[in-house]
Structure 1
Amino acid sequence: MSNSYPFPKDWRHPLEPPAEYKRLRQEAPVCPVRLFDGNTAWLVSRYQDVLAVLSDPRLVLDSTLPGFPHISASSAARQGRPLPFFLRPDAEYRAQRAMLVQEFLPRRMEALRPSIQRTVDEALGAMLAGPRPVDLMATFALPVAIRVICDLLGVPHDSADRLHVLSRTVGSRTSSREEATAALAGLDAFFLALVEANLREPTDTLIGRVVAEQVATGKLSAPDAAALFHALFYAGHGPSAYMFGLGTLALLLDPGELAKFRAMEDPAAITAAVQELLRFINVSHLARQRVATVDVTLGGQRIRAGEGILAQPDSANRDETVFEEPDRLDLQREVHRHFAFGHGIHLCTGRALALIEFEVVFKTLFQRIPTLRLAVSPEELRFKKEENLLGVHELPITW
């Protein structure tokens, strides 16, 4: 029978994808795997095949279809609830995404750079004034990521910690269906109350503007708007915070590349370095889920209509036929398209904001703390082994 998905990682090398992917790229680039519920799906591991999957409008990210490949009970628990816009049928997804395009234009995100810089500076200042060693995740990474997305959306800061805990329950592969359902209900209720508050008294925030333009005019229901904002909060803080942590770890573990990064002044070089970190680490390390709506042939395999497909981004980002020495971090690598933000119509809506956050965080962190180092051996770090996002529980640092 097929392998069970997701594949186990070797946690002695936490930044490396499961070694099985390399073998599959060479021997069985499109192969069946068994999911948690006993269903099967097709795992796609090569760069060009992943690109084909994410580019093909016949292969859809629609969790309402019977063959959708759920990776965990918490994923399946979304069914029967208002779905986040990215899990809806294509027509609904495109309509809701169109409501957000103006909010996430690159120039609009670039205008936020000074406020993001202030947020980073304030968090670093507080951290530097405190005791050493310190947990970078709790004192810097999570507070910065949460504050940036809360300020953009218009979410009160004092609610953020509770929302993060609920988000982690939803994002855990060990949460039961009941636990995930309860967490989703809590998130939906919070954001529905925020929608209703903005209907009564609109705010000059992303939530306020979307509510005024879409909900108040009857184009979007209040529950659908709540699911939309819940999705933006979830995707807008966890991946960024975990990337702050793992990007810092990757640089601290590679003194040669860190020295190159510290010396970079050209904004284009810093952007390219961040893109390489995203290729190398890929915090969103679980597969991009799709369902075939017609029969297709991929990597020599016939995939039938109604069958699930798992396009594996971290495997594609380490494909030796596309990237020279793919398992080496090379901050001066010529930037290729990677899959950290997805591809095609489901390319991450907030990617421009995320890139600015990463540029500001990594440059400021290593400029202001030139002697930054791990406070424990790498072997002592505890990783979030059962979550949909790759991350560390704590990142003890000192200087």
Structure 2
Amino acid sequence: MAELPTYPLARDPEHPLDPPPEYRELRASASLTRVRAWDGSTPWLITRYEDARRALTDRRLTMDVTSPGFPHTSPSSRLRGQGAVFFPSRPEERYAAGRTMMIREFTPLRMAELRPFVQRVADGEIDAMLAGPRPADLVEAFALPLAIKVICEFLGVPVADRGRLHELSRVLGSRTAPAERVTSALSEMDAYFRALVADPGDGLMGRIVRAYVETGELSEADAAADFQGLFFTGHGPTAYMIATGVVALLRHPDQIDVLTGTDDETVHATALQELLRYVTVSHNARQRAATDDIEIGETLIRRGEGVLIQIDSANRDETVFLEPDRLDLRRTPSRRHVALGLGVHHCTGHALADIELDVAYTTLFRRLPDLRLAVDFAKVPFKFDENLLGVHALPVTWGSGAKHRV
């Protein structure tokens, strides 16, 4: 019997923006395959696009972390599932209630009202970067503060605490952090957000506490877990996507004008969806457990078995996307990717993420039209040990063409 691939599969450091090359081989040779996780379990791995779509929308594959066979991809994943969890990871009836609650908060209209604030933050961070030394680290100078300030504003989290909260989030999203560090981070995060539930302010947290916690519809523990989850998912993926998206655009300079050359919202929307497909920063599989027997791609998945849906592989499926390893911001149809999930588990905050990414890329490249890497691409320090693909730092520089605000 052949030895099972070890999950997670390794990316090629020479091609860090591409998924592990083995996924291409798996898509060609097998619809689903068993992999061996860190704890010795052997969940099914889905790498093909059509299989991924089927799995993401089949309600017999649950995100409930208490379901038998739920596949944990790291010690951190298992530890995070032992206490109060973010609403998508709760049992079905409690998940549905949480999603309904959040959908009311993340409406496209409410998110559109935040665009002027996002624009002010983006301009302010660029102003500060232009006033500082060159080269600059785009992660610390722009991507991270933009993402954190926006989600903190929306949630009502004190911005002064952002640095510590981000570091704790990195521990919780690590594939390699030791159990004691994860346990400590979980404890600190839980205590922090429980304190905010007790004194939530006027942002989203205040609205939810008054409407759901004080009426008894939502426990304080679940509310704290939800706010922690919103902070975690609301800043990390966005910040990492801004930075890696900039890398992708600098590697494909002919594509930048697609974003900066027009204010056409349709063109921008198409471009952003292609960047999400091409980069797919969430390179940890979507984790599911089968609550009933289900057949996907001629493979029978038994009740109680774990399933890993590899969305970055699905987004590079050559049977669906022409030349999938090429970035084409005019690619249509652009919304076929699964970077943000699908169906009832489609990212609740996608409208806010779209605004942040659109503002970030267009503002950055319009104001710094000659933005460029300050080091060779091979020396950009990518991070592969987290659930998100990112860079430890992104040294950039620019010339005299930078546009200062008047």
TM-score for both structures, normalised by structure 2: 0.96
Task: Tell me the CA shift for residue 268 of structure 1.
Answer: 1.2
CA distance in 1, matches of 2:217, 2:335: 39
Q: Which residue of 1 aligns with 2:401?
A: none
Say whether residues 1:9 and 2:7 are aligned partners: no
Say whether residues 1:354 and 2:383 are aligned partners: no
Q: Which residue of 2 aligns with 1:372?
A: 371
Q: Which residue of 2 aligns with 1:255?
A: 253
**2:227 alignment partner, one of 219, 226, 229:** 229
Task: Tell me the CA shift for residue 261 of structure 1.
Answer: 3.2
- SS state at 1:162 partner: helix
**1:115 alignment partner, one of 106, 117, 127:** 117
Written as runs of structure 1 = structure 2, the 5 A alignment for 1:225-304 is: 225-304=223-302
CA distance in 2, matches of 1:312, 1:304: 19
**2:69 alignment partner, one of 67, 70, 79:** 67
- SS state at 1:34 partner: coil
- Aligned AA (2:322): E
Deviation string for 1:313-340 (max 9, x for gaps)? 0111011111111110000111132111
CA distance in 1, matches of 2:390, 2:364: 18
- Aligned AA (1:373): R
Q: Which residue of 2 aligns with 1:148?
A: 150
- Aligned AA (1:393): H
Deviation string for 1:281-327 (max 9, x for gaps)? 00011111111111111111111100000111011101111111111
- Aligned AA (2:273): Q
Written as runs of structure 1 = structure 2, the 5 A alignment for 1:1-399 is: 1-198=3-200, 203-334=201-332, 335-399=334-398
- Aligned AA (1:383): F
Deviation string for 1:214-238 (max 9, x for gaps)? 0011111111100000000000000
Contact 2:67–2:291 (Cα < 8 Å) also in 1: no
- SS state at 2:382 partner: coil
Task: Tell me the CA shift for residue 257 of structure 1.
Answer: 1.4
**Gapped runs of 5+ residues in structure 1?**
none
Deviation string for 1:145-191 (max 9, x for gaps)? 00000000000011111100000000111112221111111111100
CA distance in 2, matches of 1:19, 1:80: 34
Task: Tell me the CA shift for residue 204 of structure 1.
Answer: 2.3
CA distance in 1, matches of 2:10, 2:26: 14
Cα RMSD (Å): 0.9
CA distance in 2, matches of 1:79, 1:254: 40
Deviation string for 1:113-138 (max 9, x for gaps)? 01110010111111111111000001
Deviation string for 1:82-131 (max 9, x for gaps)? 11111111111111111111110011101110111001011111111111
- SS state at 1:80 partner: coil
Contact 2:259–2:361 (Cα < 8 Å) also in 1: no
CA distance in 1, matches of 2:104, 2:68: 33
Contact 2:258–2:267 (Cα < 8 Å) also in 1: no
Q: Which residue of 1 aligns with 2:404?
A: none
Task: Tell me the CA shift for residue 78 of structure 1.
Answer: 1.7
CA distance in 2, matches of 1:260, 1:94: 39
Deviation string for 1:248-281 (max 9, x for gaps)? 0100011221243332331210111011000000
**Gapped runs of 5+ residues in structure 2?**
399-406
CA distance in 1, matches of 2:113, 2:259: 24
CA distance in 2, matches of 1:185, 1:90: 26
- SS state at 2:35 partner: strand
Contact 1:251–1:258 (Cα < 8 Å) also in 2: yes
TM-score for both structures, normalised by structure 1: 0.98
Moved more, 132-141 or 296-305: 296-305
Task: Tell me the CA shift for residue 30 of structure 1.
Answer: 0.4
- Aligned AA (1:274): L
Contact 1:110–1:356 (Cα < 8 Å) also in 2: yes
CA distance in 1, matches of 2:93, 2:215: 20
- SS state at 1:291 partner: strand
Deviation string for 1:44-99 (max 9, x for gaps)? 11110000001101111111123001000000012331111111111111111111
CA distance in 1, matches of 2:385, 2:68: 25
CA distance in 1, matches of 2:288, 2:343: 13
Poorly superposed stretches of 4+, deviation over 4 Å: none
Name the count of aligned residue pairs: 395
- Aligned AA (1:16): D
- Aligned AA (1:363): T
- Aligned AA (1:100): M
Task: Tell me the CA shift for residue 29 of structure 1.
Answer: 1.9
Contact 2:31–2:299 (Cα < 8 Å) also in 1: no
- Aligned AA (1:356): I
Contact 1:76–1:177 (Cα < 8 Å) also in 2: no
- SS state at 1:294 partner: coil
CA distance in 2, matches of 1:310, 1:26: 18
